[in-house]
Structure 1
Amino acid sequence: MERLPTRLELTKRNIQVADISCPLCASGDETAAHLFTACCFAAEVWAKVSRWCKVPYLVAFSFKDIIQAHLHCGLKGKEQLMYQGIVIITCWLIWKARNELVFSGKPPKAEDVFCSIKSVSYLWFKYRSKCIDISWDRWCNFA
């Protein structure tokens, strides 16, 4: 719905932004679609998530494609539910890494973001999900 305050969206709302390029890769205008699908930093993170979850590499052309990725990943039942949560957490942590770069000048590392994805998603599922009881070792091997 274009509500994420990316640099391009901010300019559309008459907020002055010095540069509308993606702060993570500088290879395109910062839109939600670019940030989560076309940005080379995000692509590196998605590749790590895909290998970890043992699903095909996520090819997405829009943010909607990302949100619906769990429907086309080949997983069923609890694993599909887990992957859906991991995708949402991945988006949040990519956005968080972007904000740390923009507001604190801290350049993100894809490996650090990926490690955060594993730990945050494990804690979320372990303590918030009623249908998934899983150990850290099993989680690291994606169920």
Structure 2
Amino acid sequence: MRKVIEGCILESGVDNIRWNNSILIKINIHSWHLSNNRLPTRINLDARGIDLHSVRCPICDEDVETPQHLFIDCIVASRLWSMVANWWRIDDYPKDLPNLITWGDTSNLQHSLKACFDAVIQTTLWVIWRFRNWICFDAKPPRKDTLVDEIKILSHLWIKHRNRNFNPNWIEWTDDPKNACNVVL
């Protein structure tokens, strides 16, 4: 049924919707919006004629807030991706947005680990977006040092509670997520 709806609604030539059942629907939708350049970043809002006081990145104020900058080039995002790659014991992360979004699919991980890794990627994108929104809209500035912990906690909770018969051990998850997923799968 999803394919029929996609065929009726989506423009021809649009990539298939990526869907990971291990994460929340809103996270899947967020990733879909991001992959189609439909997130309301400052540059996208400016292109739609919305008058903003600045189109610079609210996190670092070093460049224009494009999706590429916000999710990859911004210093906070690049540090987060380095930490995620280190946590998963992967050499490096893709430096362009389309490849980053599909990094889980194209990684050389075992098939059974790809869904878990993709859930972590999508969670990281969500955490960056939420951090950006906290900076823009909340009076109390958020803490950057808790973002990696938030990625680990949210991805573990979502994977654990959205999959039957799948309960990765928390201690193993924080230390070696590949092993935690392999033991369970």
TM-score, with normalisation over the residues of structure 2?
0.72
Kept in 2, the 8 Å contact 1:89–1:121? The answer is yes
Q: Which moved more, 1:129-138 or 1:8-17?
A: 129-138
1:18 corresponds to 2:53? yes
CA distance in 1, matches of 2:152, 2:52: 33
CA distance in 1, matches of 2:95, 2:142: 22
CA distance in 2, matches of 1:93, 1:36: 10
Q: Structure 2 stretches of 5 or more lacking a match?
A: 1-35, 181-185
Matches within 5 A, 1:20-99: 20-62=55-97, 64-99=98-133
1:123 corresponds to 2:123? no
**Which residue, out of 33, 38, 42, partners 1:3?**
38
Counterpart of 1:4 in structure 2: which amino acid?
L
Per-residue deviation at 1:135? 1.2
CA distance in 2, matches of 1:51, 1:59: 13
Q: Which moved more, 1:86-95 or 1:66-75?
A: 66-75
- Closer, same or farther in 2 for the Cα pair 1:130/1:55, shift >3 Å? farther
How many percent of aligned residue pairs carry the same amino acid?
30
Pairs aligned (count): 142
- Closer, same or farther in 2 for the Cα pair 1:26/1:32, shift >3 Å? same
Q: Match for residue 26 of structure 2?
A: none
CA distance in 2, matches of 1:131, 1:43: 34
TM-score, with normalisation over the residues of structure 1?
0.91
Q: Which moved more, 1:125-134 or 1:29-38?
A: 125-134
Per-residue deviation at 1:79? 1.8
Per-residue deviation at 1:131? 6.0
Superposed CA deviations along residues 69-124 of structure 1, whole A, max 9, x for unmatched, are: 11333211232211100000000010000000010144444431110000011100
CA distance in 2, matches of 1:67, 1:131: 27
Q: Which moved more, 1:101-110 or 1:113-122?
A: 101-110
CA distance in 2, matches of 1:43, 1:25: 12
Partner of 2:37, secondary structure, is coil
Q: CA RMSD in A?
A: 1.5
Structure 1 consecutive aligned stretches of length 4 or more whose deviation exceeds 4 Å: none
